[in-house]
A and B are shown apart, each in its own frame.
Chain A
Amino acid sequence: MSRSLYWLQCGGCGGDTMSLLSLESPDLTEMLDMLDLEILWHPSLSSMSAQEHSLLLEDIYRGRQSLDILCVEGAVIRGPGGTGMFDVFQGHPRKDMLIRLATKARYVIAVGTCACFGGITGAGDVEAVGLQYIRKVKGGLLGEDFISKAGLPVINLPGCPCHCEVQAGVLSALISDSPLSFTHYHTPLPWYGMLVHQGCVRNEYHEYRVEEEDFGEKGCLFFHMGCKGPLTYGPCNKLLWNRRSSKTYIGAPCAGCTQPDFPSEYPYFRTRNIAGIPLELPDGVDRAHYLAYKGMAAAAAPLRLKKRDTQV
C-alpha cells in the first residue's frame, strides 16, 4: 500500500523545497515512485483546488485518510501575543492546523533550521519557534514530550536549506523501516554526526594554520573570517551541493546554518577571537592544547601553503 505525505509550509522561505528539487539518482519523481510514496499535498507542487484541499484536511483530521509522514518547512509563527494571526490559513492560525496534523501523523519531520529550532524566522519578533525546540531549548510548539504515532519525537533535519540527500535519505529510511540513530537534538546521526569542516578542500591550510584575513584567497577562513565549519554539525562537505561544491570550497565562510542557535547573534564574516585563537573551538577541544598544537602547526607550515600554491 502506498504511503502518504503531507507537506506544510509555515514561516520560511521555501528553500528546503527548492533544495529537494535538486535531488539526484534517483531524482524526486523517481524516488517517490520507488518508495511508493504519495504526496497528498505540497503547496508548491499540488494542483488540487482549495475545496479539494479542505476535504483532504477534513479526511486526515477524521482519520479517513491515513497520514504516514508530515513534513513541516518553516518556523511556527505564534505572534502576535500568542494568537498565531501573523500566519493564517483561511482565517485561522496555521499553528493550530499544524497541531491537528501532527497528532495524526506516524512521523513528523521538521525540514530546515526554521522548522527545527526557529532559525531565521525565530530570530525576528513574530514569536516563531521550531516544532519541538526554541533554539537550544526543548519545547517548541509541540512540547518536549511530544511523540508522533510511530513513537518518535520530531525528526529534526536542520540546514538553511536542508540538503536534499538528507531529506530523501530520511524519507527512504522511514518508509523502508530501516533503523536510524539520532543525535542529542534528534537529528539523524549519519548526516549530523560529522562536522562541516570534514571534507573541506581548505583542510590542509587549516591544519597548518595558514589563514586569511580577507576574501578571495585559498587559505583557511576559520581563524578570522568567521567560518563555522569546524563548529558545525552537517554534511555539506561530504555530500556537496548541487553535486559540485560548497560554500567553503569557493571561499565563503560556513554560516553554521544547521546549528540550533542559527542565526548567530554575533557578526558574520569575522571570528571572535582571543590572541588570534577563536573564542569558540570545535566540540571537546581543550583550549591550552589547541593553542600549543596550532602554534606548532603554524611553525611547521610548508612554503607551498604559505605561498598559496596548493589549489582548492
Chain B
Amino acid sequence: MSEKSFINVPLNRVEGDLEIRAEIEDGVVRDAWCSGTMFRGFERILQGRAALDGLLLTPRICGICGTSHQAAAAAALNRIAGITPPPDARRVIDLVLMCEHIQSDMRHGFLMFTADFVNPAYKDNPLYEEALRRYAPLKGETVIEVIRETKKVLEINAILSGQWPHSSFIVPGGIVSRPNDTELLKCRMILKHYRKWYENRILGCSIERFGEIRSAGKFDAWLDEKQARRESDLGFYVRYSRKTGLDKIGSGCTNFLSFGSTEPPGCSGTDSRLFPAGFLHQGIIFDFAQENISEHVATSWFLDYTGGKHPFEGETRPFASGYEGKKYSWAKAPRYKDLPAETGPLADMLVSGNSLIADMAAVEGHSAFLRELARLLRPAILIPAMEQCLSEIRSNAEFYISPGEISEGEGFGLAGAARGGLGHWVKIREGKIAHYQIITPTAWNLSPRDSNDVRGPAEEALMGTEVRDPANPVELGHVIRSFDACLVCTVHVVDGVQ
C-alpha cells in the first residue's frame, strides 16, 4: 500500500515569503503548490500620483533588483514620451544593471543556495565537511569572501547612480548623472578587481579560457584537467551537486522566456543584444511579443475574472479567502501564449543559444543544478560586456534629453532583471498614473496554477522530487531556491482606472 502525506514548508532564503505545500506519495512529490503569503498592495501607492513618481516608488518593491524596476519604469515613460535616451546613458544604465546582476548572482549562489549544502541531511556525505568550511552561514570561507567582494563591486553603482540599493538616477530621457573620466577609470579598476576574484575563487580559470568550453563533454574535461578547477567554488558546486543528485531534480515546465537583457542599442552600439528576447517552447525559439502576456487569478487571492488578462487590462482586487477552495497564493499566474514560462539566467542563456548550457540541457536534461549553474556562470558573460560598456562610455557625451511634460498615453517598459524578465505597464492620464501593472520574474517562476489548472514552473519542477525525510525536505529547498525566488516582488500594481 502506498503511503500518502502532505507537508507544508515555509521557505526562507527566498527574498520574501513563500510556503510550499507538497503531496508526497512513497517518498516522491506527486503534487505541489507554491504560495506567496504576503500582499503588499502597491496599487494605492501609485494610483493618482504624478507620472514620474513610479521612478522613485517602484524600485522600493525590491531591495535586490531596484535598478531593474527603475529601468523598466523609465522605459515605459520613454515609450509614452516617444523619446530615446542617448546611447551613452543607455550604456551607463546597462552597466549598472549588469553590476546589480553579478553581485546578486554570487550572493544568491553562495549565501542562499549553497547554504542547503550544509543541511544536516548531508552530514554523512563525504563532501559535507568541506561544504561546511565553505558555506556555513556567515562563517564559511566562501560566504565571507562573497560578502566582502560583492559589496565592493557595488561601488560602481554608487559612483554612477549614487547608491545601492534604491537609487533613482534613471529618468525618462536618460540619466541624471554625468560620470567624468576619473570616475569611469575607478569603475574599471573596481570591475577588474571583481573579475580577478571571480576568476580565482569562483571559476578556477580565466573568463577567456572558460569561454572556450562549448559542450558538456568539454566542461567535464576542463573540470578534471586541473586541481584548481575542481577546488574552485564552481568545481565544488558541480561535484557536490552531482553527488547529491541535484542534477536529477527540478526540471520544470521547460518553456523559457527572456525579455532580452538590454534595450537597443546594446553595449555594442548596434541592435544586437547580449541576451535577445525570445520564447523557447518545445525546442523552438519564437520571437517575443509582450502582447502575448496575460495574467490569471483563478487560484490567486483576488476577485475572479475569466481566463487571463493582458497587463494593460489587468485588475487587482484582493480577496483574502484563506486556504479553502481553489485559491492559495498572493501571486498571480502570468502566462505567455497561455503557457507557463520560466525566466531567469537559464532562460536567457537558452534563448540566446549559449552553447555550453544548451548542450548540457540536451545531454544531461534540465534540473535545479543546471538552473543554478547558469546563474553562477552569468558573470563570465556579463563581466566582459561590462568592460566593453565602460570602454564605450564617453564622459563628454550627452546623458539626458529633456522629455518635457509626460501627460497622456500608455506604454510598457521591459528589463532583464537579475531573476529574469520584468515588465511595467503604465497608463498616464492628465499627467497622473491611471494604471500601473508590474509582472516580476518571480511572478512567472513561482506562479500558482492558472485558470486551466496548469501548474506554474516551480510547482512543475517539484513534481517527482524524491523527499528522503519529510521532516527536513531539503530537496524541495534546492528546487525552489534554484529559481532564486523573490517573493517581495509579487506585488500587484494595478488599478481600476476609474
Contact = CB atoms under 8 A, between A and B. Distances in A.
Select the residue from B112, B159, B164 with max chain A CB neighbours within 10 A. B164
Contacts, number: 232
B163 A245 contact: yes
A244 B158 contact: yes
A249 B41 contact: no
A83 interface: yes
B169 A252 contact: yes
Contacts of B471: 49, 51
A24 interface: yes
A242 interface: yes
Interface string B139-150: 100011001101
A252 B147 contact: no
Contacts of B45: 120, 123-124, 263
Contact of B162 (A17, A44, A215, A245): A245
A91 interface: yes
Nearest to B121: A49
Given A29-B144, A49-B472, A90-B8, A246 B163 contact: yes
A46 interface: yes
A80 interface: yes
Interface residues of A, number: 75
Contacts of A28: 138, 147
Interface in B242-275: none
Given A22-B154, A50-B11, A125-B44, A250 B112 contact: no
B473 to A, nearest CB: 8
Given A43-B12, A263-B57, A214 B159 contact: no
A288 B11 CA distance: 58
Interface in B47-73: 49-50, 52-53, 55-57, 60-64, 66
Q: How large is the interface on B (under 10, 10 to 19, 20 to 34, 35 or more residues)?
A: 35 or more
Given A13-B66, A263-B56, 11 more contacts: A21-B107, A27-B151, A44-B12, A83-B320, A85-B320, A124-B45, A160-B60, A216-B175, A216-B178, A243-B155, A270-B50
19 contacts: A19-B63, A24-B151, A44-B13, A46-B115, A46-B137, A49-B120, A86-B38, A86-B318, A126-B39, A241-B162, A242-B157, A244-B159, A250-B176, A252-B169, A263-B56, A267-B49, A267-B53, A270-B50, A311-B180
Interface of B: 8-13, 15-17, 19, 37-45, 49-50, 52-53, 55-57, 60-64, 66, 107, 111-112, 115-116, 118-120, 136-139, 143-144, 147-148, 150-151, 154-155, 157-169, 171, 173-178, 180, 318, 320, 322-323, 330, 399-400, 402, 471-472, 474, 488
